[in-house]
Structure 1
């Protein structure tokens, strides 16, 4: 039986005032952009679990402002088992601190369980502990009150905090939060990960695997980066971008204590 998760990236692209402070982020990154990025990584993580279905109830392009009422109606009509709203924070008396804040609706026991588990998982995954608000709260936000399913709203950091902004702008942070949020929901809901198929044996002697070094830029570098990241060696904020830069060199050195990728490296990465 399917487990249905309705989700939204809070607000929309042109919501007035919802952006990072210019003095902290010259690009004044919009909140919806940050919300959408975490939501997309959440959807990516959801693909790892059996029977999970997702419904995005805001406009995935961010161009249209879908009302909160219509978001809740869509989730309820679909029969969602859980609702999650992705946000980033600001205000609450200002200050340099910030931190994650996770909300559930007042009186919702199941919502509180999701809330507390999401907060713990996100903090364990590198989330920001703050001092500007209580980290877990019961509050009557519209989407929490008007969804039939247990609902949670997560603020992943403050857009006006000199501590939080450098962190929340990183793609790697968004990925950590998206994956941790999904893992927490899976824990509470009792979801199981899909069984991975055994890898087919690779005949490395038949492969044309070039030696790679710093400065190379091509799809083969990207393949190497994907393999490194899959083994837990991060290649920088840009991830698998096909560019062999300092971060990729550092990851490769940590993997094998050498700065080049030769046939021996390829065999280790491919597990053959």
Structure 2
């Protein structure tokens, strides 16, 4: 049985949940091409913008302007009074669809990408081969976008860099979905990364980490994509909590004292793009 309460139904595929500067939950719906903001207290929801090439990761510059990943054309867009404008072009770094994003307090954005056509690979051969220890995913780079929109490589050869979070000690944690691990980096004053090491190995638990959220104690909440549950993981890989969801969980956020989970029957476009089976689910922490 699910431990969560269903907050909202009728999504196609929710992703990139974040608590916004105004306290609302912001999230993307891939196949409705919308970024929305939801007041968890009142249930009132607003469409913030439409992203024709599919929205994903979200974040804010220090002055409050919204950044959103435009997946299929591999760009980061910025919301101005007149609408969305290009903030950064990732085509020189992203080798397939751009995806999740973390924007830090300085306005620096770290942006991951698929690395290859994952959906086509699953459609052709299923998920089974990717679960085998001998299968190695193509590597790709994590992009660093500075507040002025300039782009550089933050780290190379990650296996589907996905959800990200900052630990209380300032380290960056990246979910390497197809390496079945969380990877940590030291962050320099200029935003560059070093000291790469495994934060938590997750293959033995069958967890391909998708979206993540870091809590105040340094625990990392992980959406495992293939399972209807969210896990809290500590450094070293110990799982300290499990929260059951009604459907497979693809992304998580901490909003106030609640864990918000984006769930759906699948991530395959042919299964979810034409339906409205996605949900937002919440759990009181």
TM over 0.5: no
- Higher relative contact order, structure no. (Cα contacts within 8 Å, ≥ 6 residues apart): 1
Structure with the largest fraction of helix = 1
TM-score interval for Structure 1 and Structure 2 normalised by the shorter chain: under 0.3
Tell me the TM-score normalised to structure 2 length: 0.22
Structure with the largest fraction of strand = 2
Tell me the TM-score normalised to structure 1 length: 0.22
